[in-house]
Amino acid sequence: MDVLQQAFAWLNDPLNWTGRNGVIALTVAHVTVSVLAVLLAAVVALPVGLWLGHRGRGGTAGVVVANTTRALPTLALLTLLAASGLFGNTATVLACAVFAVPPLLSGAVTGLGDVDADVRDAARGTGMSGARSLWSVELPLAVPQLAAGVRTGAVQVLATVPLAALVGGRSLGSIVVEGFGTQNYGQVLAGGILVAALCLVAEGLLAVAQHLVTPAGLQALSRDGRSSGRRRPSRRSAGSTAPPSPPTDDAHAPLAVATSNDSNGSGSPV
Amino acid sequence: MRLAAPSNPWFSWEYLQRNSADVLTALQQHTTLTLEAVVLAFALALPLGALAHLRPRLGAPLLGVAGVMYTVPSLALFAVLAPYTGVGRTTVLVGLVAYALLVLIRNVLVGLQGVDPAVRDAARGMGYGRVRLLLTVELPQAVPSIVAGLRLATVSTVALVTVGVVVGYGGLGQLMFRGFRSNYHAEIMTATVLCLLLALVCDLVIAGVGRRLTPWARSTRPV
């Protein structure tokens, strides 16, 4: 029988959906682990990112962290944690949280770093303290990039969690791994479709959420910007006056371009 | 990391000596797979990026499709591919190329669009045609961005190869997984360190080539 038919047969079998290892239970486990991982990462990354961004430094540190974790394979971290005695979902949450930190951190740092210096000056001029300026002026202006960071991080975690099935975590990835183990390729394909669908749906929902949390004023601003100019040059890299915007001798410069794209695009593939 | 019992250390020179052939095979598999994937993706991304630049109407759907591909987790992609391309090298390679493609196309496009309009105007004023403009003016100007994309794609490909373990062709990931199965700490740690080293070496090599390709970047300092 054709593999695609097998996959649909598998998806159509109600027994595969219910029960302790059914699709529904596994989806719930998958989403629970992901949410926990994102929350854990947010608790660590957001305060640090906000502080660094508010102080106006830490840009390079963020880039270094982001690049190191990009090179560290997810599987390596998962097997390392699992082998050191943390089995199952604790290891999954920890490992995924590590990979969600860079997008959140860079979202916070670039979001606050891109706040217009004049706006900051004005806030100080009206007598706001640093904390108040951060809370009621800079933070709302940074919301779009903060939200983009959260979105990238969350989708990345959702995509990483399936890998944990290899080291014994329960998630939709278990279906794929079990399918490979039993050489049931219909089930493998069905699991792959389910995981992909979950990620795409989450990405869509989070995009809507990102739109909703953006303050109305900023939305109007970006609409105006889009209708008048064709497209804003990507932050400070294209619009600068330096002729052939080359990488300077700072080794991190070219990567900084790439990671700044990242904060509103997608993170590293997992 | 807590200290392990002496019988099962995280770092073991003895392991490396005894299994050097095994480790080298995995490393070689990992390296060739990475290079092949990045070269293939680059060969595809350069014309596609140029096309998206010349025909902006094609650019948006192209980036959209690549973006959706990028959202799909690697495990799912390998799972979807495996029934058709079989268990082994092809599946991993196709998946890796797909992921590297988005980063590369995006950076080629950003580089080409970031060319100073005045430079473009000057070239057009000198009578350059569209294709000549692209090849001799815009493309060299886009080199820094393309090199940044290549570095990013290579580093993430090195990490991604390990996921190939689900179809039995994961390079160093194979060692990690085997080490996990047999609870052999040194095997996992060796594979992890080699992965990081490979990524670092590739990154430095590409950065070096990029510097050689853009001599003007060293002589003229941006003001």
- The Cα B111–Cα B210 span in angstroms is 14
Count of domains for chain B? 1
Q: What one-letter code names the amino acid at A63? A: V
**Count of positions (residues) in chain A:** 270
Confidence (pLDDT) at A58: 61
A87-96, A104-113, B124-133: which is most confident: B124-133
Q: Is residue B58 part of a domain?
A: yes
Whether the predicted pLDDT of A107 surpasses 50: yes
Average pLDDT of the segment spanning B13-29: 86
Structure tokens at B130: 């569209």
Average pLDDT of the segment spanning A64-85: 77
Question: Mean pLDDT of all residues in chain A?
Answer: 76
Task: Test B67 with A265 for CB contact under 8 angstroms.
Answer: yes
pLDDT digits (tens, 9 = 90+) for A227-245: 544 444 444 333 333 333 3
CA angle A150, A151, A156 (to 5 degrees): 100
CB A9 within 8 A of CB A192: no
The boundaries of the domain holding residue B186 are: 13-215
Tally of CA atoms within 13 A in the half-sphere of B45 that contains its CB = 29
* Shortest alpha-carbon distance between residue B208 and chain A (Å): 10
Task: Test B82 with A185 for CB contact under 8 angstroms.
Answer: yes
Confidence (pLDDT) at B46: 92
Lowest mean pLDDT among A173-177, A224-228, B197-201: A224-228
Residue A189: CB atoms within 10 A of its CB come to 26
CA A92 to chain CA centroid, Å, is: 16
Task: Test B160 with A177 for CB contact under 8 angstroms.
Answer: no
Lowest mean pLDDT among A63-77, A190-204, B192-206: A63-77
DSSP state of A4: H
Whether the predicted pLDDT of B37 surpasses 90: yes
Confidence (pLDDT) at B188: 87
Query: Contacts of residue A11 in chain B, CB cutoff 8 Å?
Result: none
Confidence (pLDDT) at B3: 54
Phi-psi category of residue A87: left, alpha or beta, with phi > 0 → left and psi -120 to 50 → alpha:
beta
Task: Test B83 with A269 for CB contact under 8 angstroms.
Answer: no
Instruction: Convert A206-224 to b/e letters by CB count within 10 Å (16 or more is b).
Output: beeebeeebeeeeeeeeee
In which band, very low, low, confident or very high, does the pLDDT at A255 lie, cut at 50, 70 and 90?
very low
What residue in A sits closest to B5 (Cα-Cα)?
A: A84
Confidence (pLDDT) at B35: 93
Average pLDDT of the segment spanning B45-51: 91
- The Cα A33–Cα A31 span in angstroms is 5
Q: At what angle do helices B139-161 and A253-262 cross, to 10 degrees?
A: 70
* Shortest alpha-carbon distance between residue A199 and chain B (Å): 7
For residue A13, count CB atoms less than 10 angstroms from its CB and return exposed for 0-12, middle for 13-18, buried for 19 or more: exposed
Whether the predicted pLDDT of B2 surpasses 60: no
* Shortest alpha-carbon distance between residue B106 and chain A (Å): 9
- Domain residue extents for chain A: 3-228
Q: What one-letter code names the amino acid at A249? A: D
Query: Contacts of residue A165 in chain B, CB cutoff 8 Å?
Result: 75
What residue in B sits closest to A249 (Cα-Cα)?
A: B218
Better-predicted residue by pLDDT, B56 or B5: B56
Whether the predicted pLDDT of B205 surpasses 60: yes
Average pLDDT of the segment spanning B153-164: 89
Residue A237: CB atoms within 10 A of its CB come to 19
* Shortest alpha-carbon distance between residue A246 and chain B (Å): 5
What residue in A sits closest to B139 (Cα-Cα)?
A: A244
For residue A84, count CB atoms less than 10 angstroms from its CB and return exposed for 0-12, middle for 13-18, buried for 19 or more: middle
Confidence (pLDDT) at A11: 85
Residue B84: CB atoms within 10 A of its CB come to 13
Selection from A226, A270, A264, A219 nearest residue A106 by Cα: A264
Query: Contacts of residue B167 in chain A, CB cutoff 8 Å?
Result: 180
Confidence (pLDDT) at A3: 79
The superfamily CATH assigns to domain A3-228 is: MetI-like (1.10.3720.10)
- Domain CATH number, residue B130: 1.10.3720.10
- The Cα B74–Cα B64 span in angstroms is 18
Whether the predicted pLDDT of A266 surpasses 70: no
CB A264 within 8 A of CB A232: no
Better-predicted residue by pLDDT, B132 or A260: B132
Confidence (pLDDT) at A260: 37
Structure tokens at B207: 């950065």
Better-predicted residue by pLDDT, A240 or B63: B63
What residue in A sits closest to B9 (Cα-Cα)?
A: A84
| Percent of chain A surpassing pLDDT 70 | 77
